[in-house]
Structure 1
Amino acid sequence: MRYLRNSPLSVGWFTVVRLVEATKQTMSSVVVVDNGGGLIKAGFGGDRDPAVVVPNCLGRPASSKKWLVADQLIAADADFTSVSLRRPIDRGYLINPDVQREIWDRVFRSLLRADPSSSSLLLVEPLFNPPSIQRATDELVFEDLGFRSLFVADAPSLVHLYETSRLPSDGFAAKAQCSLVVDCGFSFTHAAPVVQNFTLNYGIRRLDLGGKALTNYLKELVSYRSINLMDETMIIDDAKEKLCFVSLDVLHDLQLARKSGKDNPFRCTYVLPDGITHTRGFVKDVDEAQRFLSLTDGCCNDLSGMQVVDGQADTEKAEDRKKVDFTKSEFNLTNERFLVPEMIFCPADLGMNQAGLAECIVRAIHSCHPHLHPVLFERIILTGGSTLFPRFAERLEKTCDH
């Protein structure tokens, strides 16, 4: 049995290669797991993309007494309505090893079809993981699942290593081997300076906001303004991912959001699942939801991939959309679409005693040696699901410039 935790001398894939050589295994027998609070990404060493991306939780729909595990929650016939969730991770840290064991067992044995007894595990753990949680994780890996060896790394060092490997070998940044990794995850956001594949713990700054807080905020807004959806976490999370974006000028967009009808470029409709004709929520009119794109000069991401599951509503004619269909439950979004991601940049405006993301980045960089400041400002790497909002990078660059 081989066991390694974060080492300042060698972090990430280079250590995995040595670990494979030491145990005389091939890269295909190295299981790689990014155990996030919202999603678990798993695959094999040497593959470019994860083989499995599933919710890291158990769920039980209101219409069933059976708990669904990981991929079963996103199956085509799964019911999204009023799903009760049990998560093994809270605020970024493992609090329920029993739930995590059940999820890992399904991911490793059923989805990846890996044999832990003949495999090594590369596991990404959160920054500043308490020793008690580390011991609980080790017990899961070795005693419950039976992996031969384990290497535990932090996300910033692996992200830095991957991005650096893509740079030209003669580039200045590649020689400096410095970057600031901004990880906007499910539970929180970190700004972590990395030098020579080693995360500088003293320079890490944390923002207690992530994708979970944004989903909860959108639940509150929708429930207060239209329909009570406080128990519909998965549905609201889907609406957030499909419809929310980052505003480059909040005051200007708030003025536009006050307009009514077709004059409001942000107004869109999300149709809730009825459990009969469609089991997934969907955007009623994709073209209508993309109208805000015309307000920019093409600086934001293309949302053409924002397709509905069943596709029946996107083919409606304009006159049909005006009709009220009492057989469908739906809600409208306007300024909620950009107010929700705005939490990351200006949490104080919402009554939270937190610094915004730009200030968090500046504090992280200024905590490092002055010689590193220009390189870190030049090499900011964004990762995490919340950074996928359209205009996220543009807004962050604009805020930092000011």
Structure 2
Amino acid sequence: MFAENTIILDNGASALKISQANTDIRILPNAIFRSKTERRRNFISNQIDSCKDYSSLFYVLPFQKGYLLNWDVQRQIWDHVFGKEVLNLRCPETNIVITEPQFNFTSIQEAMNEIFFEEYEFKSILRTNSTTLSCHQYANENQDEDCCLVVDTGYSFTHIVPYYKKSKIVDAICRIDVGGKSLTNHLKEVISYRQLQVMDENYVINQVKEDACYVSMDFYRDMEMCKLKGKENKVLRDYVLPDYAQIKRGYVKPLDEISSNSKKTKSQEQMIRLTVERFTVPEIIFNPSDVGIPQMGLAEAILHSISKCPKEHQPHMLRNIILTGGNCMFPNFKERLERDVRCLAPDEFQVFITQPKNPTTYPCEGGVTWSKTQEIQEHWLTIEEYQEGGQAACARQFNDI
């Protein structure tokens, strides 16, 4: 059974997703922030909630280009999360499931092993990928299926990972170098070029992206609509920026309040007008070449990954595609991807895509599900086994999961 002393830590490049025993999953920022108004203070992870002004936040991130490189920052965040303010863990009595990126570097894996065993002294650890946890959750929900293909579109990358009987088909894994960070950066550049200098406003523009952007089901039709004037332009939206006095978080103005008549605009509101940016930014995941990234789009990458799987598994992969990660929460994401994959897939095969209720926490849910089974017992590595076998024991234990 899932013990009280087991935690699941999905250690993403942008956010930590944590489940402790049977408590609700918590999502905390995986960063240290500095505010221009409170320069002397660092906000570690969820301490950012107490910041009064989110404008021009300076981010210090432990991850660079998808991999954990800044250990000092990550240690401060883990110390905060494991400490009294958040989880209040007694590490020597605790088991931990910790996620890492696909194809993680050996030096990073060894550093993680040392920190969790030698410094925090966890009772036992299991180091795996978030897609593996998603696979276990899906397998639990669909026990008659042996195959699944996990699409994990996160902060730094988008990975496509096929599984057969909960084992990765390593040679068929695909990666697209587009993630949430790329989309936010592109939106910052477009708004800064056309309207307002926002290159330092990571936090605010990320909210603009989440609140206003969507995936187009007909790209050229939406482009034509953006040429229209007034109420005929159904894409046009005004986004009211926060001033951190009256407005704590920005928001999209209702369509009926949009007007070229300045009398309808409150004098204290600072707004940006969004048209093509609303759908051209998420489009990068489907067509990375739009911004000069010479890679396949998501639908093509899925078919390419499936083509590298054994032929008898391919039809099963197509009907068991799972979407995880924050980017798939854009409106129309699932419908657009299902349509694009259907166009490329052989006619005789079914295409079915599952989007969980919360794609961001789905891997963490999978970790909880897996932890309740006897099957996980063989994958734990205890601190005694580490002390006896060192890094070689970790390499053997975590090689295939």
With the length of structure 1 as denominator, give the TM-score of the two structures. 0.81
Match of 1:345 in 2: 286
Amino acid paired to 2:119: D
Compare relative contact order (CA 8 Å, sep 6+) and give the higher one, 1 or 2: 2
Q: Are the aligned partners of 1:186 and 1:212 in contact in 2 as well (CA < 8 Å)?
A: yes
2:232 equivalent to 1:256: no
Task: Tell me the residue number matched to 1:128.
Answer: 103
Deviation at 1:116, TM superposition (A): 1.4
Q: Does 1:273 align with 2:214?
A: no
Q: Equivalents in 1 of 2:311, 2:92: separation in Å?
A: 48
1:400 corresponds to: 341
**Displacement of 1:320:** 8.9
Cα distance in 1 for residues equivalent to 2:182 and 2:76: 25
Deviation of residue 61 (structure 1)? 0.8
Change (3 A) 1:28 1:72: same
Within the alignment, does 1:54 sit opposite 2:28 as a pair?
Answer: yes
User: Residue 230 of structure 1 aligns with which residue?
Assistant: 199
2:217 maps to 1:217:
no
Q: Report the Cα offset of residue 356 of structure 1.
A: 0.3
Which of 282, 288, 295 aligns to 2:251? It is 282
Matched, 1:202 2:176: no
What is the identity, as a one-letter code, of the residue corresponding to 1:278? I
Q: What does residue range 35-50 of structure 1 map to in structure 2 within 5 Å?
A: 35-47=11-23, 49-50=24-25
Match of 2:307 in 1: 366
Deviation readout 1:186-217 (Å, 9 max, x if unpaired): 10001100111111111100000000000001
3-state SS of 1:187 partner: coil
- 2:237 and 2:258 in contact (8 A); partners too: no
Checking the alignment, whether the CA contact within 8 Å between 1:156 and 1:199 is kept in structure 2 is no
User: Residue in 2 aligned with 1:106?
Assistant: 80
Instruction: Decide which moves more: 104-113 or 196-205.
Output: 104-113
C-alpha separation in 2, matches of 1:227 and 1:351: 24
Shift of 1:177: 1.4
Q: 1:83 aligns with which of 18, 42, 57?
A: 57
Task: Tell me which amino acid in the other structure corresponds to 1:177.
Answer: D
For structure 2, which runs of at least 5 residues remain unmatched after alignment?
344-401
Match of residue 386, structure 1, among 324, 327, 342: 327
**2:107 aligned with 1:166, yes or no?**
no
1:189 correspondence with 2:165: no
The CA distance in 2 between the partners of 1:374 and 1:125, in whole Å, is 29
Task: Please say if residues 158 and 178 of structure 2, whose CA atoms lie closer than 8 Å, have aligned partners that are also in contact.
Answer: yes
- Rounded to whole Å, the distance in 2 between the matches of 1:120 and 1:46 is 14
Query: CA separation in 1, counterparts of 2:259 and 2:184?
Result: 30
What letter is aligned with 1:338?
F
User: Secondary structure of 2:313's partner?
Assistant: helix
- Alignment of 1:156 onto 2:144: no
- SS of the equivalent of 1:337 reads helix
In the alignment, the residues of structure 2 paired with residue 86 and residue 362 of structure 1 have an alpha-carbon distance, to the nearest angstrom, of 37
Deviation at 1:322, TM superposition (A): 4.8
Contact 1:62 1:83 in 2 (8 A): yes
Alignment match, 1:375: 316
Tell me the secondary structure at the aligned position of residue 218 of structure 1.
Answer: helix
State how far apart, in whole Å, the 1-side matches of 2:165 and 2:52 are.
Answer: 45
Closer, same or farther in 2 for the Cα pair 1:230/1:368, shift >3 Å?
A: same
Corresponding letter in the other structure for 1:199? K
Q: Whole-Å Cα distance in 2 between the matches of residues 56 and 187 of structure 1? A: 13
CA distance in 1, matches of 2:231, 2:145: 52
Instruction: Check 1:258–1:30 CA distance in 2 against 1; reply closer, same or farther (3 A cut).
Output: same
1:349 is paired with a residue whose SS is helix
Q: Distance in 1 between matches of 2:295 and 2:240?
A: 34
- Counterpart residue type for residue 151 of structure 1: L
In structure 2, C-alpha distance between the alignment counterparts of 1:221 and 1:176, rounded to whole Å: 44
Deviation at 1:54, TM superposition (A): 1.3
2:7 corresponds, among 28, 31, 39, to 31
2:295 alignment partner, SS class? coil
Query: 1:99 deviation in Å?
Result: 0.5
State the percentage of identical aligned residues. 37
Q: Which residue of 1 aligns with 2:92?
A: 117
Partner secondary structure for residue 4 of structure 2: helix
Report matched runs for 1:290-329 at 5 Å: 322-329=263-270
**Amino acid aligned to 2:233:** N
Tell me the residue number matched to 1:308: none
**C-alpha contact (below 8 Å) 1:59/1:69 kept by paired residues:** yes
Contact 1:61 1:84 in 2 (8 A): yes
C-alpha distance in 1 between matches for 2:332 and 2:49: 28
* Unmatched tracts of structure 1, length 5 or more: 1-16, 18-25, 168-173, 292-315
Q: Tell me, yes or no, if the aligned pair for 2:147 and 2:163 is still in contact at 8 Å.
A: yes
The one-letter code sitting in structure 2 at the alignment partner of 1:57 is A
Following TM superposition, by how much is the alpha carbon of 1:119 offset from its aligned partner in structure 2, in angstroms? 0.6
Q: Residue 278 of structure 1: CA displacement?
A: 2.8
In structure 1, C-alpha distance between the alignment counterparts of 2:259 and 2:199, rounded to whole Å: 31
SS of the aligned residue for 2:10 comes to strand
Q: How far apart are 1:46 and its partner, in Å?
A: 4.1
RMSD: 1.9
